Copies of this chain bind each other. A is one copy, B any other.
Amino acid sequence: MGVMIVQPLYYRIAEDVIKQIKAGKYKPGDMLPSESQLCEEYNTSKMTVRQGLALLAQAGYLRSVPGKGNFVEYPRYDLLTMQFDEMDIISDYQQGVKLLDVTIMDPDPQVQGMLSLPNKEKVIVLKRLLISEDQAVAYDVKYMPYIKGKPLIEKEIQYIPFAKMVAKHGELFSVKNEVTICAEACDQEIAEQLGISPGSPLLVIEQKLFSAEQKPIGWGKLYCRSDYVQLHAVSAQYIKEQKLLNL
């Protein structure tokens, strides 16, 4: 005997509408049946219909216009979702990080500008080598404003991804992480650290972190060997759809 799984009504409404959209019954820009029509059709109440439509809106299928109706949205193919932190590129979380240097120093002008620091403020500089399967795959440099009396725990410095490290002492939420991805030719210093020849292409991932008050609280670059590291992203629309359909 199989077990009947009864899906909530609002979920069935959402599914039905999606099926009809995919079947071409409603095209982008079209108006869906009004909420009261759907209430009649499914013999249910307004809140239930709205709960179903809310699912569609979350998945990006729908745009509600007060006073007019619910309309099918054009899908966005240009929004991508990516999962990334420094530890994703190494295989062994414990063995994979070699701490090269931790220093408190006066920042050079570039770093000072990036962190919007007043003069005479010092920064913590952190240099790490990321190793995957006995192979150095990335060279990592991070800068944080130095705040007196905030101790740095070695394990944190070594193993915690930058965003988490910076967010830890302060606001956990509302931390903005701006990432820039580019390619660069390898310079002499990094070439030595990574054991490759100068001029080789590197995948460079730059991170800039902001507090809830929009103040810069961290800046850093990750220089990755192009033969070992690549980034992956998937259309956000697709991920939302999958989440929706798996209830």
Binding site for B on A (CB under 8 A): 21-22, 27-28, 47, 54, 58, 61, 75, 77-85, 88, 161, 163-164, 167, 171-185, 199-204, 212, 224, 226, 229-238, 241
Taking a contact as CB atoms under 8 Å apart, the answer to whether B233 and A182 are in contact is: no
Q: Report chain B residues within 8 Å CB of A167.
A: 75, 77
Q: Report chain B residues within 8 Å CB of A184.
A: 183, 201, 226
Taking a contact as CB atoms under 8 Å apart, the answer to whether B79 and A226 are in contact is: no
Taking a contact as CB atoms under 8 Å apart, the answer to whether B75 and A177 are in contact is: no
Q: Report chain B residues within 8 Å CB of A28.
A: 172
Taking a contact as CB atoms under 8 Å apart, the answer to whether B82 and A82 are in contact is: yes
Q: Report chain B residues within 8 Å CB of A230.
A: 180-182
Taking a contact as CB atoms under 8 Å apart, the answer to whether A83 and B75 are in contact is: no
Taking a contact as CB atoms under 8 Å apart, the answer to whether A175 and B77 are in contact is: yes
Q: Report chain B residues within 8 Å CB of A232.
A: 178-181
Tell me the dominant secondary structure on chain A's binding face.
Answer: mixed
Which of B61, B75, B82 meets A175, CB within 8 Å?
B75
Taking a contact as CB atoms under 8 Å apart, the answer to whether A233 and B77 are in contact is: no
What's the Cα separation between A79 and B229 when bound, in Å? 18
Whole-angstrom distance from the CB of A63 to the nearest CB of chain B?
14
Taking a contact as CB atoms under 8 Å apart, the answer to whether A80 and B77 are in contact is: no
Taking a contact as CB atoms under 8 Å apart, the answer to whether A233 and B179 are in contact is: yes
Q: Report chain B residues within 8 Å CB of A80.
A: 81-84, 177, 179
Whole-angstrom distance from the CB of A211 to the nearest CB of chain B?
11
Whole-angstrom distance from the CB of A119 to the nearest CB of chain B?
30
CB-nearest residue of chain B relative to A59?
B173
Whole-angstrom distance from the CB of A22 to the nearest CB of chain B?
6
Taking a contact as CB atoms under 8 Å apart, the answer to whether A182 and B234 are in contact is: no
Taking a contact as CB atoms under 8 Å apart, the answer to whether A79 and B83 are in contact is: yes
Listed residue (A84, A231, A241) with the most chain B CB atoms within 10 angstroms of its CB = A231
What's the Cα separation between A22 and B172 when bound, in Å? 8
Taking a contact as CB atoms under 8 Å apart, the answer to whether B21 and A173 are in contact is: yes
Q: Report chain B residues within 8 Å CB of A204.
A: 183
Which of B78, B79, B85, B238 meets A161, CB within 8 Å?
B78
Given contacts A78-B88, A84-B80, contact A203 B181 (CB under 8 A): yes
Whole-angstrom distance from the CB of A214 to the nearest CB of chain B?
11
Taking a contact as CB atoms under 8 Å apart, the answer to whether B201 and A202 are in contact is: yes
